[in-house]
Structure 1
Amino acid sequence: MKAKDFVERFAVERKNTHAVKWDGMVEKFGNNDLLPMWVADTEFKVPPAATTALEQRIQHGAYGYSIPSDGYFEAYANWQRKRYGTELHPEWFRFGGSVVESISTLVQTLTMPGDAVMVMEPVYYPFMNVVEKNNRQLVVSELQRNGMHYTMDPIAMQHEMNIRNVKLLLLCSPHNPVGRVWREEELTQLLDICRMQNVIVVADEIHHDLLVEADKFTSVLSVQDGFYRDNVVMLDSPSKTFNMAALQNSHVVIPNPQLRERYDAYVDQLHASKGSLLGQVAAQAAYEDGADWLDGLLNTIRENYATVKDELADYRVRVGELEGTYLLWIDMRPTVDPVNLERFMIRQAQIAVDFGKWFGVGGDGFIRMNLATTPANVKRAMKQLTAALDTYEE
C-alpha cells in the first residue's frame, strides 16, 4: 500500500482521547500544547481485520475467563516463518501483558538479587529501570559510534561479563533508540560470547517487523540455524507493529525446557498476567490479514524519514541511520549545547521528544523522534525545529 493511501485510510485524531502521547505530556514536559513526537505508538487505526474481529467478539457480549484460540499460535508462527524464516513450536510459547513486564519477570526468574545484568547503552530506558528496581547490579556496555552508525563492542562485553560475573544480558533487537538491525554475524559473535560466559540472553524483538532501510531481520532463535536457542528467551508483541499497546498482549518464547519450567513456576507464584482476550483476538486477525496494512505503515515511515533528512540537510545536526524501528535518533550537539537541549526543544521548537540522556551512556545531547505519524505532523515538526535552529543562540 502506498503511503498516501495508507494515511488517507487510517490516520486518526488522538488528541483528547486520553492518549499518553497527546494528553499526558504535562508530567514530563510541563505542557500539553507541544507537538508530540515521543511515545512509541502511532496516529493510525489498526488493520481493518483486527477491528472486524474485535467487533464480532464484542457482539458476543461476555468477557469471562478465556483461553487463546487454536488459531492464534498458527497465525503468529506463519507470520514469523514466511517473513523471517523463524521457526517456532507451540510448547515454547507463553503470553504476557507487555514486553517490559516480561523482562521484569525474567530478570526475577533467571537471576538473584545482587546478580549482574548487562545492557548495551544507549538503550530503551526501562531496561535500566527493570534491572535496578529489581535490586540487580546494572552493568553497562557502551555501543560504539562511528558517525551515526553504532556497533556492539564484543571484546569489552566479554571482559565485563567475566570480571562482573554477569548472569543475564538484555538485548534490544532491533535496537531502540539507535535504529540498528543487527546482522546475523554480529548476533553470532555476541551469542557465542554469552554461551562461553554462561550468560543467558533475553532478546526484546518488539520492533522486528519495522524494517525501514534494512532488508533482513534475523531473530536470536534463528542464528546459525537455531544453534543458540537453549541460551535465549525471545520477547515480542503486536503492539508496535499494529499499534495495539493498550490491548496488553505480548509473547514470551522459551525454547529451553528447563528455563521454561523456571519461568512457569515463577509466573504461577506471581499470578502474573498472561495476555488479554481482546488483545489476542485483534492480534490474530492482524497476523492473518495485516501484511498490506504494515506495508503502508512502513512506506509512510520511509517517506517521513526522507522528509527529516531533507529538511535537516543544511543544518549541523546529525540524523541517525534508520535500519529499523520508527524511532529516529538525532544528534543535536553540533548546534545545541546538551545543557540547553530540553529548554530548546520544549520552549523554542515546541516539540515533545524523548531526550537522549534518558537512554543512558552516550545519549546526552541526542533526541529520539517518533516517525510513525502522519506526514503532516512530521512536516510541522520540521518547520518548528528548523525555525528554532535558525534563531537559536546559546
Structure 2
Amino acid sequence: MQDFIQEHFINRKNTNSSKWDNLAVRFNDNRDLLAMWVADMEFKTAKEILSAINERVNHGIFGYSLTPNSYYESFISWMKQYHNVELKKEWIRFNLGVVNSIYHLINCFSKENDSILILSPVYYPFARAVKDNHRKLVENELVYNEDNGEFCIDYDKLEKDIVTNDVKMVIFCSPHNPISRIWNADELKKCFDIFKKHNVLIISDEIHQDFTYKKSFISALNYEEYFDNLIILNAASKTFNLACLLNSHIIIPNEKLLAVYDEFAKRFNQIETNIIGQLATEIAYKKARYWLENVKEIIYKNYLYIKDEFAKDEITKNIIISPFEGTYLLFLNFSKVINENRMKEFIQDDCMIAIDYGDWFGKDYKGFMRVNLATAPIHIEEFVKRVKNQLKIKDYR
C-alpha cells in the first residue's frame, strides 16, 4: 500500500483544485486549511488511463467524435461482472455529470411547483436542483440512531410525505451520501414499492456504486418490476477520480421514458461526445480494477484509523461515527463534545480544517460533519491530531 501511495499521491495545491484552491471563496478563509471536503481524491488515476489519454493527446486532433462499440462493451461488462446488472446499450445516454443530469431530468419529467422528495440528510445539490428549478422540495428525514450512528428509513412517514405533498419524483441516493449507507434488498424494495404504488418517478444516483466495504451494493437495475418508474445515474468519475473529464451515464430502461427524454434532449441537451472522458472511462473499466482495489484499501484503513484513534481518547470517544458501508465519505456526529453553534469555531477557526458541514446536507445536522477519506493517510493522521489536540485545550460545549 505504501508503494501505491508514494506513486500516486499528489499535492494539489496551486493546481486550480476546487478542494485546495477555493477555500477563500467557499469558507471565507484565506489561511492554509487542511482540505477534507469535496468528494474527489489526491491520487492520480491509473497509469493505463493516463497512457491512453496521452496517446490521444499526441494525436493532436480533438474534433467531433463517436462513441465506439468498445466503450459500451467495457461499461456493460463492468456492470455485469461487479454489479450483476444486465445492461443494454440502447438504455444508455450521456451527460456531463450526475448533478447536471439531475437538473435536466427535473425539467424533463416535472413542471414548476411539482413536489420532489429527497431523503435527508443527503448530498446538498439535490435540494439545490429542486429549488433552482422552482419545484417544491419535500425532505423526508431519515431516522437517526444516536447509539450507533446508523440511519434508516421510516416507511410510514415516507408514504405519508408522498401522499400529503402529491410527490411526482424522488431523487434517491444509493450508496447514500453523506451517511455511507448501502441500502439492502429489503430496504430498496420497500421504498420502491411505495414509489411505484404512487407513480413516483425514481431518479437513482448510484455514482458511488463501486465503493463498498464489507457489504454488497445492489443497483436498482436489478429490479425489472420498477423499470416503468426508474432512471439510473452513474459514472466512472468518482471511481477513478475523473470528475472534470465530464462523462456520465443516464440509464433509462423504459421505452416510453426514454422517448420522452430523447425528445427533451433534442431541445435542451445537445452535447457532443467528450472524447477524453469516454476514452478514460473505457480504459478504466477494462484495465484499472487493480487501481480501485488499492484505493479502497487505503480508504478503509483511513476509516479504521479515525475510528480507533477517537476510541482511545476520553473526549473523542464520544464522537459518534456512522457505520461505514459505502462511498468514501464519513459522517461524524460531534454534538456530544461540541455545541452545534460552535462547529465553525472549532473545526475551521481553531483546527484549521475545511470539511463539509452537516447542515449543508440537512437543517437538523449542525453538529455533524462529512470527512473525505479518499486521501493519503498523512492527511487523515493530521485531521485526527488537530481534532484531538484542540478538544484537549478548549471546551466547546
Given the two structures, how large is their TM-score scaled by the length of structure 1? 0.97
Q: How does 1:199-210 map to 2 (within 5 A)?
A: 199-210=200-211
Q: Is the 8 A contact 2:343 2:366 kept in 1?
A: no
Offset at 1:32? Answer: 4.4
In structure 1, C-alpha distance between the alignment counterparts of 2:101 and 2:8, rounded to whole Å: 30
C-alpha distance in 2 between matches for 1:72 and 1:32:
43
- What whole-Å deviation, never above 9, does each CA across 1:261-314 have from its counterpart, x for those lacking one? 111111211144355111001110000011110000000001100110111112
For 1:230 and 1:86, the matched residues in 2 are separated by 17
For residues 20-47 of structure 1, what are the alpha-carbon distances to aligned partners after superposition, in whole Å with 9 as ceiling and x for unaligned? 1111111122234100000100000111
For 1:184-226, what per-residue CA distance to the aligned partner results, in whole angstroms no more than 9, with x for missing partners?
Answer: 1100111111000000100000001011232x11001103xx2
Corresponding residue number in structure 2 for 1:85: 84
Asked whether the equivalents of residues 131 and 137 of structure 1 are also in contact (C-alpha less than 8 Å), the reply is: yes
- Give the alignment partner of residue 340 of structure 1, picking from 339, 342, 346: 342
Which deviates the most, 347-356 or 268-277? 268-277
Q: Specify whether residues 186 and 79 from structure 1 end up closer, same or farther in structure 2 by C-alpha distance, changes over 3 A only.
A: same
Matches within 5 A, 1:246-261: 246-261=244-259
CA contact (8 A) 2:64 2:273 kept: no
Partner of 2:184: 183
Inter-CA distance 121–275: structure 2 relative to 1 (3 Å threshold): farther
8 Å Cα contact 1:239/1:249 also seen in 2: yes
Residue identity matched to 1:98: G
* Contact 1:73-1:90 at 8 Å conserved across structures: yes
Matched with 1:239 is 237
Matched to 1:388, the amino acid is Q
1:121 aligns with 2:120: yes
Match of 1:295 in 2: 293
8 Å CA contact 2:234, 2:249 repeated in 1: yes
Question: Secondary structure at 1:118's aligned position in 2?
Answer: strand
Amino acid across the alignment from 2:157: A
- State the alpha-carbon separation in 2 of the partners of residues 160 and 72 from structure 1: 41
Secondary structure of the corresponding residue to residue 137 of structure 2:
strand
Identify the residue that residue 383 of structure 1 maps to in structure 2: 385
- Counterpart amino acid of 1:265? E
Structure-1 separation of matches of 2:77 and 2:268 = 31
The aligned counterpart of 1:282 is: 280
Question: Is the alpha carbon distance of 1:218 and 1:275 closer, same or farther for their aligned partners in structure 2, counting shifts above 3 Å?
Answer: farther
Aligned to 1:213: 214
Pairing 1:59-74 to 2, within 5 Å after superposition:
59-74=58-73
Contact preservation (8 Å) 1:250, 1:275: no
Unaligned runs of 5+ in 1: none
| 1:164 match | 165
Give the percent of matched residue pairs that are identical in Structure 1 and Structure 2: 37
Cα distance in structure 2, aligned partners of 1:301 and 1:129 = 28
Partners of 2:66 and 2:273 within 8 A in 1: no
Query: 8 Å contact 2:324–2:330 — kept in the other structure?
Result: yes
Whole-angstrom CA distance in 2 between matches of 1:92 and 1:32: 47
Residues 20-39 of structure 1: matches in 2 within 5 Å? 20-29=18-27, 30-39=29-38
Residues 203, 233 of structure 1: 8 Å contact kept: yes
Q: How far is 1:9 from its partner?
A: 2.1
Write the distance in 2 (CA, Å) between the matches of 1:65 and 1:88. Answer: 26
**Cα distance in 1, alignment partners of residues 222 and 30 from structure 2:** 45
Aligned-partner Cα distance in 2 for 1:236–1:380: 32
What SS does structure 1 have at the residue aligned with 2:56? helix
- Alpha-carbon distance, 1:246 to partner: 0.7
RMSD: 1.1
What secondary structure does 2:180 align onto? coil
Question: CA offsets per residue over residues 348-389 of structure 1, 9 Å max, x none?
Answer: 111100000000143221000000000011101111111111
Aligned pairs for 1:329-368 (under 5 A) are 329-368=331-370
Residues in 2 aligned to 1:379 and 1:275: alpha-carbon distance in whole angstroms: 41
Q: Is the 8 A contact 2:196 2:229 kept in 1?
A: yes
Tell me, in whole angstroms, the C-alpha distance in 2 between the residues paired with 1:241 and 1:32. Answer: 30
Matched, 1:4 2:2: yes
Equivalent-residue separation in structure 2 for 1:213 and 1:385 (angstroms): 27
Distance 1:325 1:347 in 2: 28
5+ long unaligned stretches in structure 2: none
Amino acid at match of 2:227: R
| Correspondence for 2:322 | 320
Tell me if structure 2 keeps the 8 A contact 1:97–1:275.
Answer: no
Q: Does 1:193 align with 2:191?
A: no
Query: Helix, strand or coil: the match of 2:231?
Result: strand
Select between 127-136 and 48-57 the one with higher mean Cα deviation. 48-57
Aligned to 1:48: 47
Count of paired positions: 389
Out of 302, 305, 317, the position equivalent to 1:304 is: 302
- Distance in 1 (CA, whole Å) between partners of 2:50 and 2:207 is 21
